[in-house]
Structure formats: C-alpha cells, structure tokens
Amino acid sequence: MMRFLARHRRIINVIVIIAFIAGFVYFTIKTRDIKIGTYDSKTYSGIAFNTAIKKTIFMNDVDRRDQIDAEIDKTLREIDEKLSYRNEDSEVAFFNRNYATGGIYNFDPEIISYLKKEMEICKETDGAFCPCILPLTRLWGIEDGNNKVPSDKDIKDRLARIDYKEMEVTDEGLTLNAGNMAIDFGASGKGIAADKVYKVLSDNDVPGAIISIGGTILTYGSKGADDIWRVGIQDPRGATGDAIGAIEVGGGTFISTSGDYEKFFEVDGKRYHHILDPKTGYPADNGLISVTIATDNGLTSDAMSTACFVMGLEDGMRYAESKGADAVFVTSDKKIHLSKGLKKRFIIKAKDYEIAK
Ligand code: ADP
Ligand code: MG
C-alpha cells in the first residue's frame, strides 16, 4: 500500500488538488451567486393586500433565499397595515374618522411623501387619478362586494365630496376642505408595496427576482446570463393566467395593469367595474378594457394605469408617452395599442387580438 502511494504520489496530488479546486468553485458559485447560466430559483406564493402574491427569487444560496422571502412578507404585511383604511389602527383610518370635515393632520412623513406624489399624478391627469375617491367607491359597494347601481342623485352628492381641488398636501400635513371626504390607497398601494420590496431586494444583494402583487409586477436584477424579463399581460377576456402577449423589460421595472375584469358586476347585460371616472361618478366607459403601464417606480405605474384607464386611449397614451412610460392599451374591439418605444419589445400570443396600426 505504502509502495503504491509512493509510486503514484504525483497522480494522487493532482487528484487532490483538482478535487479541492472543484469543491471551492462549487461552493463559491452556490453561495456567491456567480453568473453561470441561470441562478437557482424558487417560487413562493401568498396573500397580502387582499390579493395573490407570487415571488420567484433567483439566488443560489437557498437558506438566504428563504430568509429574504420571509422579509418580503413582513414588509408587505407592514405596509398593508399602514396604508389600509380598513385597519382601524392605521393613520389613514384615524384620519378618515377625525379629519373628514377639515383640519390639518400631520401624517407620518413617509405617507406625506406618497400623498405628494399622488397629488402630482392627480393634477397631471386632471383628477382622473383621484386619491380622495373613497366616498364614491363606497357608494358603489365595490370594495365590500355590496354591488348596486346607485341613483343619479346619490352619485351627484358624492361627486362634491371627491373633488381633488379640495385636497391639500404640504409638509405640515393633509387637509380635506369639502366636508365628509376620505382618502384611500386602493389604486396605488400595491405599487407602493412593490417599491418597498425593491428596497428589500437591493439591501440584500439579491441577484434577480420577479414579484407580483395583484396587478403590479416588479422585475429585479437578472436571472443569470439573461438580463431581459418577459412579462405576460393578462387577457382581459381570458381565464386568469391567459396572456395576450408579453413585454420585454429590464430589471428594475414596475408593470401595473388596470382592467374592467378585476372586480365587476352586471345588470341588464351592462358591466359595472371598479375603476370609476371621477368626472361622471360612473365606471370609466371609453372602450378600454385594460391598460398596462411599465415604468421605473411602483407608485407611479400603479397610479398611472388607473389614471390612463379613466382618461381613455388617446389622452391616456399621450400622457404615458409624455412620462416616458411603456404602455399597452387594450380596447373592446380586441386591438392592442402600444406606446412608441414598446413596438419592438412586445410579443403577441393571443390569436383573437391584433396589434393596432
Ligand atoms: P386593482 O386594484 O384591481 O389593481 P387599480 O390599481 O386600477 O386596480 O385600482 C382600482 C381601485 O382604486 C378601485 O378598486 C378603487 O378602490 C380605486 N379607484 C377606482 N377609481 C379610481 C380613480 N379614478 N382614482 C383613484 N382610485 C380609484
Ligand atoms: Mg392602479
């Protein structure tokens, strides 16, 4: 045996060195996320914001990956509790209880920063995105499932209470001036949550992830060798998960879709859905059935998709393009309208839709 070892010492040395190097490389790739092919990935599912959450995290270190998933869940829970007007302990609920008819309330600076951004989008869209629409959505019973078509008189009464010009946001706080007003984050909360998740991913040096929070999707980093993310767009008249096509975007993109198919009821063959036109008080009825906006901020993409759905194809597309956002507008005649920059990055899948000229 000793003689065998002595005679083959060089070969044995080489084998030991090779094994050592292989072990080192394997360990490094596994724990340091070196870009070779695609990172190992895992998909986690859950519920927050009253909606389905799906997280696919690309990361070779499986233990850290599970920890990051848990941290994202915690972040989502916290921001949901903070922004929900239904959570009696939230500042938003406190504000709606005590400041509905006037007085300035000094919100937490984080909420003030969201409100400021919302007011900006609200003004730019001439109120199509309306942060104080809650009295009207309550009348329609859209949030509690108590659906009914309200009377014209009731709608008129509510219109006076959802006038954004009566809403004032400064560093000192928020004031509502028209009496019996209220705020909520229904059309922007999931986008804000996506912004928060972005921060968790970057603070933890996660290589890549795709996270969907209801109608808002965040792409982050890369899957490995491939830096492009192909994000499917829901077929507004198909089953959940059916896509009309996909857009190609880079990491760090927030993609939000607003459609007439998410929450709706029908009376006499007419569809009444959850995106309301603050000018008429009725569900937006302009031929659009879905709007997708892709941009570099979650609050913006979420609020913009709602605003553009209300504004209609022409004004909405003009607004999206002026903001440098990618946009996909789908009309009831099953035509897909793309913003200028997106034409080369859209892949159509559904046979019954066509891309508008
Ligand atoms: P989803 O919640 O299905 O992702 P949106 O982001 O478009 O869709 O938000 C729709 C929600 O926003 C509605 O359920 C309602 O609470 C609220 N909302 C409806 N119309 C408007 C509007 N014009 N401006 C702001 N919020 C609105
Ligand atoms: Mg929205």
Do the Cβ atoms of 289 and 330 come closer than 8 Å?
A: yes
- 302 CB within 6 A, ligand 1: yes
| Regions of the chain where pLDDT drops below 70 | 1-7, 12, 14-37
The values of phi and psi at residue 115, to 5°, are -65, -40
Q: What is the pLDDT of residues 86-127, one digit of tens each?
A: 999 999 999 999 999 999 999 999 999 999 999 999 999 999
Nearest CA to ligand 1 atom 14: 274
Between 189-203 and 298-311, two packed helices, what is the crossing angle to 10 degrees? 150
Do the Cβ atoms of 85 and 182 come closer than 8 Å?
A: yes
Q: What is the pLDDT of residue 38?
A: 85
Smallest CA-to-CA distance from 164 within 305, 304, 274, 279 is with 279
Read off the tokens for 25. 């490389």
Which atom of ligand 1 lies nearest, measured to the CA of 305?
A: 7
Using the structure block, give the residue that is written with the tokens 């309330």. Answer: 105
- 278 CB within 6 A, ligand 1: yes
Distance 10 CA to ligand 2 centre (A): 68
Task: Tell whether pTM > 0.75.
Answer: yes
Q: What is the pLDDT of residue 31?
A: 46
Nearest CA to ligand 1 atom 10: 187
Q: What is the pLDDT of residue 30?
A: 47
- 274 CB within 6 A, ligand 1: yes
Read off the tokens for 288. 């659009």
Q: What is the pLDDT of residue 225?
A: 81
Q: What is the pLDDT of residue 5?
A: 60
Distance 208 CA to ligand 1 centre (A): 29
Nearest CA to ligand 1 atom 5: 187
Overall residue count recorded for the chain in this entry:
357
Smallest CA-to-CA distance from 49 within 79, 80, 73 is with 80
